[in-house]
Amino acid sequence: MAKKQKFKTEVSKLLDIVINSLYSEKYIFLRELISNASDACDKLRYYALTNPGIAKNNGEFKITITPNDEENTLTISDNGIGMNKDDLINHLGTIAKSGTADFVRNASDNGSIVDLIGKFGVGFYSAFMVAQKVEVTTRRAGEEQAYNWISDGVDGFEITETTREKIGTDVKLYLKDDAKDFTDTIYLRHIIRTYSDHINYPIVLDLGKAGEETVNTGSALWTKNKADITEDQYNEFYHHISRNFDTPWMRLHFKAEGSIEYTGLLYIPSEAPYDLFQPDRQQSLKLYVNRVFISDKVDDLMPAYLRFVKGIIDSADLPLNISREMLQQNALIAKIKNGTVSRILKELKKRSEDYDDYMKFWKIFGVAFKEGIYEDVANRVEVAELSRFYSTNSIDKLTSLDEYISRVQEGQTNIYYITGDDVPTLRNNPQLEAFAAKGLEVLLLTDPIDEFWVQVLTNFKGYPIKHISQADLDLKMERDTPRADEGSLKMLTDYMTELFKDEVGKVVPTEKLTKSPVSLTVENGQMSIHLERLMRNHQQQTAFASSRILEVNPYHPLIIKLADSMFDESQKQNVEEVSRLLLDQAKIAEGEAISDSSFFSEKLSDYILRGWQKSA
Ligand code: ADP
Q: What is the 3-state secondary structure of 234-285?
A: HHHHHHHHHCCCCCCCEEEEEEECCCCCEEEEEEECCCCCCCCCCCCCCCEE
Q: How far apart (Å, rounded) are the C-alpha atoms in residues 304 and 165? A: 44
Q: How far apart (Å, rounded) are the C-alpha atoms in residues 571 and 445? A: 42
Pocket test for ligand 1, best of 8, 42, 91, 97 (most atoms within 8 A of CB): 91
Q: How far apart (Å, rounded) are the C-alpha atoms in residues 356 and 367? A: 17
The mean pLDDT of 1-6, rounded to a whole number, is 79
> Which pLDDT score, from 0 to 100, does residue 299 have?
84
> Which pLDDT score, from 0 to 100, does residue 573 have?
94
Q: How far apart (Å, rounded) are the C-alpha atoms in residues 544 and 522? A: 12
Task: Evaluate: CB of 291 within 6 angstroms of ligand 1.
Answer: no
Contact 58/48 with Cβ under 8 angstroms? no
Beta carbons within 10 angstroms of residue 253's beta carbon: 17
The mean pLDDT of 234-259, rounded to a whole number, is 92
Comparison of pLDDT for 270 and 529, the residue scoring more: 270
Task: Evaluate: CB of 147 within 6 angstroms of ligand 1.
Answer: no
Pocket test for ligand 1, best of 62, 124, 171 (most atoms within 8 A of CB): 124
> Residue 243's pLDDT band (boundaries 50, 70, 90)?
confident
> Which pLDDT score, from 0 to 100, does residue 99 have?
67
List of domains in the chain: 9-217 (3.30.565.10), 222-355 (3.30.230.80), 388-470 (3.40.50.11260), 486-615 (1.20.120.790)
Using the predicted structure, report yes or no on whether residue 606 has a pLDDT greater than 90.
Answer: yes
The mean pLDDT of 162-190, rounded to a whole number, is 96
Q: How far apart (Å, rounded) are the C-alpha atoms in residues 240 and 46? A: 18
Task: Evaluate: CB of 36 within 6 angstroms of ligand 1.
Answer: yes
> Which pLDDT score, from 0 to 100, does residue 306 have?
96
> Which pLDDT score, from 0 to 100, does residue 195 have?
83
> Residue 545's pLDDT band (boundaries 50, 70, 90)?
low
The mean pLDDT of 474-503, rounded to a whole number, is 89
User: Among 296-305, 336-345, 544-553, which stretch is predicted with the lowest mean pLDDT?
Assistant: 544-553
Q: What is the distance in A from the centroid of ligand 1 to the CA of 10?
A: 17
> Which parts of 130-249 are beta strand (E)?
131-139, 146-151, 156-162, 168-175, 203-206, 212-214
Task: Evaluate: CB of 37 within 6 angstroms of ligand 1.
Answer: yes
Task: Evaluate: CB of 81 within 6 angstroms of ligand 1.
Answer: yes
Instruction: Tell me the CA distances in angstroms from 173 to 67, 68, 164, one per residue in order.
Output: 10, 10, 18
Which residues face 223 on adjacent strands? none
Closest CA to 560 of 483, 476, 486, 481: 483
Phi, psi (deg, nearest 5) at residue 311:
140, -160
Q: What is the distance in A from the centroid of ligand 1 to the CA of 8?
A: 16
Q: What is the DSSP string of 37-53?
A: HHHHHHHHHHHHHHSTT
Structure letter (DSSP) for residue 197: T
The mean pLDDT of 474-484, rounded to a whole number, is 79
Task: Evaluate: CB of 40 within 6 angstroms of ligand 1.
Answer: yes
Q: How far apart (Å, rounded) are the C-alpha atoms in residues 193 and 547? A: 67
The mean pLDDT of 417-431, rounded to a whole number, is 90
Q: How far apart (Å, rounded) are the C-alpha atoms in residues 552 and 519? A: 7
Q: How far apart (Å, rounded) are the C-alpha atoms in residues 292 and 314? A: 8
The mean pLDDT of 314-321, rounded to a whole number, is 82
The mean pLDDT of 10-36, rounded to a whole number, is 84
Q: How far apart (Å, rounded) are the C-alpha atoms in residues 515 and 559? A: 12
Q: What is the distance in A from the centroid of ligand 1 to the CA of 92?
A: 7
- Entry pTM: 0.78
The mean pLDDT of 41-63, rounded to a whole number, is 88
Task: Evaluate: CB of 513 within 6 angstroms of ligand 1.
Answer: no
> Which pLDDT score, from 0 to 100, does residue 279 have?
66
